[in-house]
Amino acid sequence: MRTKVLPSLLCAGLIAATGLSAASPALAAPHATTFGAPPAPPASTASATPVAADGVREKLERIPGLTVVSVADKGGFPFYTLTLAQPVDHRAPGRGTIQQRFTLWHKAETAPVVHYTGGYGLSSGTREITTLLGANQVSVEHRYFNTSRPTAVDWDDLNVWQQASDEHAIVQALKSVYTAKWIGTGASKGGMTQVYHERFYPGDLDAVVAYVAPNDANNRDDSVYENFFKTVGTPECRAALDAVQREMLVRRDAMLSRFEATSKEQGLTFAYLGSADRAFEFSVLDQVWNFWQSGTYTDCPTVPDAEKATDDELYRWSVNHGLSIYADQGNGAEGSGPYYRQAAAQLGWADLKFKHLRDVRKYPDIYQPNSVLPADMRTTYDGRVIKDVDRWVATRGERMMFVYGQNDPWSAEQFKPSKNDSHLYVAPDTNHGALISKLTPAERAEAQATVRRWAGQ
């Protein structure tokens, strides 16, 4: 969301920016950098050895529109890679179809099913509640990411209702095989995606467990993020981080030359943002957000003295602690562009004030998702659907659990669950990787018991 994806921009998996050393942005997955998308979940570790599953493949192949692409072994159980033909537009099926990728880790037809999406490309890593429940796991690639899109894309078809309708079709198809309880889950942008699914198709899932899912119900009011950065960590750590961020812009010429050298070495360009200088400023704005998203208060002692650090020391530390490059190579249609498009159109972003940087910034309007998109993907914001989801969750949602991280910027703007057997937990001293297992012992036991009850165990 800017998921808030810009630190605000990217969320639920770190996907959007191209890291200076490795790579990643914030919203969303669990997951990306501040402006970047939330980080994406780990990939599957299935082996290529097929495993027999009593009649399951035959049942899958009888589902209209479903294709079994492959079957492998994962932990001694069959792991299917599948596609399902989905309408480009569920309101106008005649406009064509996409082949949406998903996977199925089959344990038993009588076991619960965990329905998971990371909110980006296909990720089939085993989720926390899959292990807790001994469940089957269905993992879905979000529409218009990677291969789950048509050859000719109308970006207006990338919206939360269309994706919810995609997931509805998958759940209904697989319920012909799996009749036990279905639990939806996801982190960051994936958690948001599951919430939207539940809003529009409340009969599909028996419960939802959403991790670190941002909720930008009012994109004009980002005071909750401003307050977060005034209170996270210690005063000394906050001051040191602000000083480093400011010094990066004070020493713009020296830092920009290093930034350009790194970019040239990695073959990165900045046509979407307009120049290397604009991309550099954008990356610096995201730096503190990314520090807290992926790090912890234990990293505070590593923050250098901004005034005493040499240019090389300042740049090197920044590259290793939150400075991500927002280059064309990571932000177009083939990369995190679909996420930024969603942020610009519906999900929203954190429009931080950066008061301590006002006199050293050159581009005051740059910190928003359209800045990193190619011209044909840019759009205008309409928050009506997200406001509706926010109201629905707070008043009518049932059996919904939200898990947030105390020191995670993406966790600052939260969903407020209803009183209908729904819950919210905050994992202490935890970042964007918050889990039920990281709650206090008493809350962990309570949350696990609730999930088991929802699953019929």
Residue 28, pLDDT > 90, answer: no
* pLDDT for the residue 39: 54
Mean pLDDT estimate for the chain: 90
Q: pTM of the prediction?
A: 0.91
* pLDDT for the residue 40: 55
Residue 256, pLDDT > 60, answer: yes
383-440 residue pLDDT tens: 999 999 999 999 999 999 999 999 999 999 999 999 999 999 999 999 999 999 999 9
Domain boundaries, the chain: 1-457
Residue 16, pLDDT > 50, answer: no
Residues 9-19 have a mean pLDDT of 40
* CATH number of this structure's domain 1-457: 3.40.50.1820
What is the band of 46 on the pLDDT scale with cuts at 50, 70, 90? low
* pLDDT for the residue 447: 98
* pLDDT for the residue 296: 87
Residues 181-204 have a mean pLDDT of 98
Residues 41-66 have a mean pLDDT of 74
What is the band of 194 on the pLDDT scale with cuts at 50, 70, 90? very high
What is the band of 110 on the pLDDT scale with cuts at 50, 70, 90? very high
Determine contact, residues 211/435, Cβ cutoff 8 Å: yes
* pLDDT for the residue 48: 53
Residues 285-302 have a mean pLDDT of 94
Residue 49, pLDDT > 60, answer: no
